[in-house]
Amino acid sequence: MNEFAFMIHPLDLNDIYRKFPFAKAMPNRLVEKVMSFCPPLYVSHITGVKSKYKETQGYFVACPLTARQMLELPEQFVLKKIIQTGKYAEKLGVKILGLGAMTSVVGDAGITVAKNLNIPVTTGNSYTVYTALEGMKKAAEMVGIDWKRAEIAIIGATGSIGSICARILSKECKYLSLAARDHLKLEKLAAKIYYEDGLAVRTTTKIQNILGEADIVLAVSSAVTEIIDPRRLKPGTVVCDVARPRSVSQAIAKERDDVLVIEGGLIEIPGDVNFNFNFGYPPKLALACMAETILLALENLWEPYTLGRDLTVDQVKKIGKIAEKHGFKLAGFRSFERPVDEEKILRVRSIRMNTPNAQAI
C-alpha cells in the first residue's frame, strides 16, 4: 500500500532549527556543514489519500541540504546526496519517487537521479505548470483583469516551468514579457514562441524593467533570494509565486495592500489525508509537485512522468485531466502562508478599477 515517496529538504536554516532546536546555539555555517554529512532522513508516513477510484499511502523522506547548499556546493556532491535519499526511499518499498523543491532543479532536473535508481522518478513540474496557470487566471479574473488581454510577465522564463508556461500562455494571451538571466536562452525561447504561435514577446535580463508595466506577474525563478521589488509593482497587480524558495519579497505584504500575491500550486488532496508532518500548510493541502507524485500512484502510472527541462503541452494537459478524474482541486488562495480573505481580493479589485493606469484592459 505504501506506493510513493516524496523527497523534501530544508529550504533554509529555520527549517533545520524547527527539527533540531539545539542547533540554534551553533554558528550557521557549522550547522550547514554538519547537515551536509547527515544521511537521508525519514520524515513521516502519509496516510488517508483516497479518490473514488483508489487509495494510496506514502512517505516523506528528506535530503539534509538547504537550498543555498544545493546551489553553491559542487553539483556532483549534491546529486550524490539526492541519489542517496532516493535509494533510501527504495528501501521503504515504494513504487515511485517525487522530487521536491530544489532536488528537482539540480543538474539535469531529475534525469541523473532517475538513472541511478530502480524506481521511476518525477519532478512534478507538469502539474505545477497546470495549477500555476489555473490559479493565475482565477486570481486575475477575481480582481477584474482580463488576463487574455493583460500584460503578463514571467520571471524565470527560461526554466523548465517558466518556458512551458510561456508556450502555453502564448497561445491564449496578447502581451507577454519574459525575464531570465541568460539572454541567449531568452531569445531562443522567444523565437520558438513566434514560430509556434506568431506572438512577438518582449525579453529582458533585467527583471525590474518589466514589473512596472505588468498586470500579472508569474514568478517561477529558482533563485534563492527574493528578486521582486514591491516598489516596482503597479496598483492592482496580481503576483503568482510558484518558486520555492520564494521570489517575492515579504515586504509586499507590509507595504503594498494594493497588490494581490498568491502562492501557486496549492492543491487539496482527496480523502482523510494525514501527512503526519507540518510543512506550513493546513491539513490536506500540498504543493502541486507533490500532488503529481500522488496522482501517478492513484492512476497506477509507474513511469518517470516529468523529467528534465523539456516539458510538453500534452504532458501538462494530460496530468490536468488525471487530477480532475481523481478529485484534486486548487485550494483557496494563500499568501505568505496565510489564507487570502475575500476582503483583500475586493480591496485590490476596487483599487484596480479606480486607478487610471491599472484599469482592466
Half-sphere exposure (Cβ direction) of 111: Cα atoms closer than 13 Å: 7
Low-confidence ranges of the chain (pLDDT < 70): 1, 222-226, 243-247, 249, 265, 337, 356-361
327 burial (CB, 10 Å; 0-12 / 13-18 / 19+) is: middle
Q: Is 41 helix (H, G, I), strand (E, B) or coil?
A: strand
CB 41 within 8 A of CB 64: yes
User: pLDDT (tens digit, 9 = 90+) per residue, 321-357?
Assistant: 999 999 999 987 877 767 788 888 898 999 888 876 6
Cell of 294: 500522488
Cell of 303: 513511469
Left if phi > 0, otherwise alpha if psi is -120 to 50, otherwise beta: which for 200? beta
CB 267 within 8 A of CB 73: no
Q: What is the pTM of this model?
A: 0.86
Determine the residue type at 126.
Answer: S
Give the separation between CA 91 and CA 118, rounded to whole angstroms.
10
Residue 361 is predicted with a pLDDT of 40
Residue 265 is predicted with a pLDDT of 64
Give the separation between CA 63 and CA 211, rounded to whole angstroms.
35
Residue 359 is predicted with a pLDDT of 43
Give the separation between CA 56 and CA 359, rounded to whole angstroms.
47
